Amino acid sequence: MSGEETAGEDAGAPQPSTVAPPAEQQQNEAAVAEAPATGEEGKAAAGTSEEAPAVSTSTAAAGRQYRALVLTGFGGYEKVKMQIRQLPQAEPSPGAGQICVQVRACGLNFADLLARQGVYDRLPSPPVSPGMEAAGIVLAVGEGVSSPKVGDKVMIMARSGLWQEIVTVQANQTFLMPEGMSFEEAAAFLVNYITAYMVLFDFGNLRPDQSVLVHMAAGGVGTAAVQLCKTVENVTIFGTASASKHEALKENGVTHPIDYRAADYVAEVRKISPKGVDVVLDPLGGSDTTKGFHLLKPMGKLVSYGVANLLTGQRKNLMAMAKTWWNQFSINALQLLHLNKAVCGYHLGYLEEEVELLTAVVTKLIALYNQGKIKPKVDSVWPFEQVVDAMKQMQEKKNVGKVVLVPEAPPKDENKKIEN
């Protein structure tokens, strides 16, 4: 599963542990002030309107303050709150093999929405800071770290903990940002493009003149997958999304956009390609996995990397979970043998120890970025204070591309929409 679609999703090369807050902060839990995460029009989200206590005066002069988003419990939007934390020392001091990063942008993934509801198995128990990818500037390096260096711009990927203005991570959880890449683009790069690349090429073995069905084609992984398909000659791309997003899909390279709300996407695909498609990318789960499998041509491959059908509202929906489980695709090896088809499962979160594998993928992706063949599409940028609106943007499927969080609000003269 990817960070964007999984129910159990996901992100150079992370270690088994989650990201720790700056080491000094662990010694100074008293110096934490909780502030409400606001929704539209600057209003506090439901359940977060209480006045934040002042930062402890005994530590006020110790070090810089920084913002952090914290999941305080499982449930609705109100469970994610912003806290103001403070370092007890003037400067961060990462341990051996670690670096400290000033985060400038964070990626919002589908798995973060599932984690808020308590249906994502890779997140530690609350209270915890979510966030699987971010980008920023290296503030300090620990003993034994030769790269990156202080001042370098880096992309970070981890199991959780990156929705903070200052983070301490293992050095091998980071990658240098390519020249010319913005922090917002960097926060939209790792989870989505690693997932799309490995699903398409490592499992899907995509080749010239083949066809692909991309569900949620306007989302982060979907956008990345379409761009990567375009790096292969003469690939026919079917992409599902609501009708309002079809022009954006065509601009990104989708050959045949399909409005899944108004039409049966299986019938629409077969009108154009009666035999079906060569590769199906399935972030949905449930009955859609079965539909995707039956759409495969002989020698076709279905890659399951999420269970987005679980997410039907703000809070965990037991009925949706039961329905998805009941309709989950099942097949035995003998049936696969007779049908000449393949089914694969992908979960980026469980590849966290495969350092060399993930590093090799990121190296290829950075080369494609430098060649101008792929470019992250940022839908919108939201300050930490408006995390509720950011989550709504994704959960209500309004986004075209990546939803990005930033610790501080951008200047007033900048549009919230980022044009790529």
Residue 292 has pLDDT above 50, yes or no: yes
Same domain, 124 and 145: yes
290: domain CATH number?
3.40.50.720
For 289, the 3-state DSSP assignment is helix
pLDDT above 90 covers what percent of the chain? 64
Same domain, 199 and 345: yes
For 378, the 3-state DSSP assignment is strand
Neighbours of 47 (CB within 10 A): 15
- Give tens-digit pLDDT for 142-198: 999 999 999 999 999 999 999 999 999 999 999 999 999 999 999 999 999 999 999
Most confident of 93-97, 216-220, 235-239, 308-312: 235-239
Angle in degrees, CA 161, 192, 129, rounded to 5 = 10
Amino acid 326: pLDDT: 59
Cα 367 to Cα 292: distance, rounded to the nearest angstrom:
32
Cα 418 to Cα 380: distance, rounded to the nearest angstrom:
6
Give me the long-range contacts of 368-371 (CB less than 8 A, separation at least 24).
Answer: 368/228, 368/231, 369/178, 369/181, 369/189, 370/178, 370/179
Same domain, 235 and 314: yes
Q: What tokens were used for 281?
A: 């990318």
Residue 96 has pLDDT above 80, yes or no: yes
What is the average per-residue pLDDT within 335-352? 92
Same domain, 340 and 198: yes
Same domain, 197 and 107: no
Last residue of a domain, one of 350, 365, 392: 350
Cis bond before residue 288 (omega within 30° of 0): no
What is the average per-residue pLDDT within 88-97? 85
Residue 76 lies in a domain: yes
Same domain, 70 and 182: yes
Amino acid 82: pLDDT: 95
Amino acid 83: pLDDT: 93
The torsion defined by the Cα of 205, 218, 389 and 317, in degrees rounded to 10, comes to -70
Neighbours of 270 (CB within 10 A): 14
- Give tens-digit pLDDT for 115-157: 888 876 777 888 999 999 999 999 999 999 999 999 999 999 9
Place of tokens 């549009």: 415
Residue 167 lies in a domain: yes
Residue 16 lies in a domain: no
For 144, the 3-state DSSP assignment is coil
Domain of residue 315, residue span? 192-350
pLDDT above 70 covers what percent of the chain? 77
Cα 129 to Cα 106: distance, rounded to the nearest angstrom:
12
Residue 42 lies in a domain: no
Same domain, 242 and 332: yes
Same domain, 131 and 215: no
Residue 338 lies in a domain: yes
Same domain, 181 and 254: no
76: domain CATH number?
3.90.180.10
Contact 12, 359 (CB under 8 A): yes
Task: List, in order, residues 6 or more apart from 29 with CB less than 8 Å away.
Answer: none
Residue 13 lies in a domain: no
Last residue of a domain, one of 309, 333, 350: 350
Phi, psi of 186 (to 5 degrees): -65, -35
Same domain, 76 and 90: yes
Residue 18 lies in a domain: no
Cα 391 to Cα 393: distance, rounded to the nearest angstrom:
5
Last residue of a domain, one of 350, 369, 392: 350
Please give the tally of structural domains in the chain.
Answer: 2
Amino acid 46: pLDDT: 34
Please, which pLDDT band fits residue 311 given cuts at 50, 70 and 90?
A: low
Cis bond before residue 92 (omega within 30° of 0): no
171: enclosing H helix or E strand: none
What is the average per-residue pLDDT within 312-318? 57
Same domain, 115 and 184: yes
Amino acid 38: pLDDT: 52
Residue 251 lies in a domain: yes
Please, which pLDDT band fits residue 9 given cuts at 50, 70 and 90?
A: very low
**pTM over 0.85, yes/no:** no
- Give tens-digit pLDDT for 42-68: 433 333 333 333 344 444 456 789 999
Amino acid 405: pLDDT: 98
Amino acid 1: pLDDT: 56
DSSP one-letter code for 370: H
- Give tens-digit pLDDT for 10-26: 333 333 345 655 544 44
Same domain, 143 and 81: yes
Contact 404, 105 (CB under 8 A): yes
